[in-house]
Structure 1
């Protein structure tokens, strides 16, 4: 059984993978100060509640964009699962794809792993939109090369900045509006419209510009926790892959194992 760990800026996702099947997944808020012991108590309890035996883990693979979290995740793997973890992008788990950008070493591990998964699962030119702390747009050509992309503030980050900077604005939940009207009648409605429909405009506008620049048919893949939020009111996505990063880590592990 493979334990795949995706450490992002907001959450750390742990997934148990058997073959190609994700049999369980759990997430916890990212905190670089969290110790291996704390991870172990939390994770072992959840595994046991789900009928999973921690001893069934025979490999651990980690992708992280939070360098400070890596040490404790490594200790977790070594101390509590008796496994030396493989780190995505480091020998022997190198990327194995061409990063066709000016500074390849600065590309986030999650973005490269998403690229690997997207190309393995879908043919042709691709755009991967990942809705996380930041919203990233990654461009992958038909050969599987990473060509670059866009980094925009995440929707939660945008809302937090708005509320923090405007004393009288309330904190609201981000949700799909029932109405397609863009004229709000209350302060809360106007905030939802501004955040939600403003973000739809950002997504659709940037995808349109990327497609025009590529000049060939392109598939758009969405991933991340908030991807489904925009599915109802926008036709920009060709498909949603909620577990794209975990899929990528699994693909990398299988390639190495072979």
Structure 2
């Protein structure tokens, strides 16, 4: 008999932001984010007090931060698990070195199993842009490329005169810029969309050439609005895929 779903506080600690959500029956009822550098036990304690989750699940790509939280998370009076490559249930590997795959990317693959199944291509749009492949064997590799925020930040940091752009406010301007800012916005938005399109075209072609059925393409992360038009109607947008995957990971550990 399978364990019932329970309200799980899911924490996804990323390089820039930490996303949290209360997930029950594969539905995210509450969610939010913190700045990762400012994350501390008192912030998590407040979430627990407000939402009274029955369990806690964690994925982190910033060990320096998550290691400082572990002792607290283990002593909240609730079951606590951290997703790692060697404690997964129901997700195998078609990949030579699973230890190097980010915990968030593995959570995304579990989330993809929940919302669509294999084969799937998962596009994560955070600090880095990640493309991960889920096949019938499990995690099967992927791509890591710059995220949109990295592109805008790098332009500013590596030049003397170019300003810092808001990576969440690049759309709506002309293709041919009539000012420095318009030119930067166009270059970043169109360049990022072109990169995503090229990555998707290449991955899907390689998968189908190797005999795979046409994969479902699932997009998660805030930069999904920058998908190229040729792909916008061909993807499934799951903004909380990582959180759904973390909750399912916890559920599987209780079976």
TM-score range, shorter chain: 0.7 to 0.9
Contact kept? 1:135, 1:151, Cα under 8 Å? yes
Contact kept? 2:83, 2:246, Cα under 8 Å? yes
> Alignment length, in residue pairs?
243
Aligned to 2:180: 187
Aligned to 1:27: 33
Q: Quick check: 1:83 aligned with 2:83?
A: no
Identify unmatched segments of 5+ residues in structure 2.
1-6
Superposition deviation, residue 110 in structure 1: 0.7
Q: Quick check: 1:128 aligned with 2:122?
A: yes
How far apart are the structure 2 equivalents of 1:103 and 1:158? 28
Aligned to 2:172: 178
Q: Quick check: 1:5 aligned with 2:11?
A: yes
Q: Quick check: 1:115 aligned with 2:71?
A: no
Superposition deviation, residue 134 in structure 1: 0.4
TM-score, normalised via structure 1 length: 0.85
Contact kept? 1:219, 1:238, Cα under 8 Å? yes
Contact kept? 1:223, 1:241, Cα under 8 Å? yes
When structure 1 is superposed on structure 2, of 112-121 and 81-90 the one drifting more is 81-90
TM-score, normalised via structure 2 length: 0.86
Identify which of structures 1 and 2 has the higher relative contact order when contacts are C-alpha pairs closer than 8 Å and 6+ apart.
2
How far apart are the structure 1 equivalents of 2:184 and 2:171? 11
Aligned to 2:4: none
How far apart are the structure 1 equivalents of 2:129 and 2:93? 20
Aligned to 1:210: 203
Q: 1:242 to 1:249 in 2, by over 3 A?
A: same
How far apart are the structure 1 equivalents of 2:74 and 2:106? 25
Aligned to 2:141: 148
Identify unmatched segments of 5+ residues in structure 1.
none
What is the Cα-based RMSD across aligned positions, in Å? 2.2
Q: Quick check: 1:255 aligned with 2:249?
A: no
Superposition deviation, residue 35 in structure 1: 3.8
Give the 3-state SS of the residue equivalent to 1:147 in structure 2.
strand
Q: Quick check: 1:61 aligned with 2:57?
A: yes
